[in-house]
A and B are shown apart, each in its own frame.
Chain A
């Protein structure tokens, strides 16, 4: 028995792309059991763009779960975008969990946008000016919420869905100087503490698809410019055909 997780991020939809993504989702019901969207659904973060996203991803034959990304906050209309998506039957995770029934198996998904700060040994700390403290605190609080959400999740498989990256592995190709704005090791630490089968993220358009947390959780960067395919499909709980 396996669960097939389809995932893509950073689709950056707007009126100029209306109707273009939908065709790429034909047949997704035969290929996957759930579709996860890793944020940056829009470009400007307007409710109008949110409606384009809702129309592209509504009424699919499989459940759709998403988080928001930094672009989705740009117009200070994140709440309205969340409402538009939920009205279209798309689940939006904001530092919380959901359970998806996939046949006889249950998939737990913990998700939120995540945030930056950098990676162990080369990261920002909660020290100094209030702005710097607030920046790092935001990531720490998210990490604590994810830790808690994972702890309470008793399912056959667990996936974490984020916009920001938990590791440097999947940022390879991005300028080193911007790593602290692309993710934080605190996100990985929370997940490694409780365990998960897979960590999905986007945000790093110039990065690579595959990485690992220090604790051995598989990380996949599904930003559309990285995947260059409509979505990736990851199979959990299946026999590895190459072993």
Chain B
């Protein structure tokens, strides 16, 4: 296939399926993993209508806000619900005998 032909079939932003929620969610998840502000691999992304839901855990409040910021930039027009929580770390607890 020539370069021109390949270009002709490349997806456009107004293509009917390019913005299917399935692909938008995948793009957001990819951005969260690859954007240097986040590098978060374990965030679940769900889209329902114009609502985007983020779930998972991060280490601090600042990282929680960055996850929402990157998601919002990647999927403009969707309302982001940041349900990500900050991991609560307790003391070391009891030892286990093996």
| Contacts from A to B (Cβ < 8 Å) | 2, 4, 6, 11-12, 16-17, 20, 24, 28, 31-32, 43-44, 71, 74, 197-198, 205-206, 218, 224-225, 228-236, 238-241
Contact A205:B95 (CB < 8 A) given known A16-B63, A17-B59: no
| Contacts from B to A (Cβ < 8 Å) | 36, 39, 42, 57, 59-60, 62-63, 87-98
23 A-B interface contacts by CB (under 8 A): A6-B92, A17-B59, A20-B60, A24-B89, A24-B91, A28-B92, A31-B92, A31-B95, A44-B36, A44-B39, A225-B42, A225-B87, A228-B89, A228-B90, A229-B91, A229-B93, A230-B89, A230-B92, A233-B93, A233-B96, A235-B95, A235-B97, A239-B97
B39 touches A233 (CB 8 A): no
Minimum Cβ distance to chain B for residue A216 (Å): 12
Residue in chain B with minimal CB distance to A25: B92
A234 touches B95 (CB 8 A): yes
Number of inter-chain CB pairs below 8 Å: 70
Residues from chain A with a CB closer than 8 A to the CB of B88 are: 228
How distant is the Cα of A234 from the Cα of B97 in the complex, in angstroms?
6
B96 touches A74 (CB 8 A): no
How distant is the Cα of A224 from the Cα of B89 in the complex, in angstroms?
8
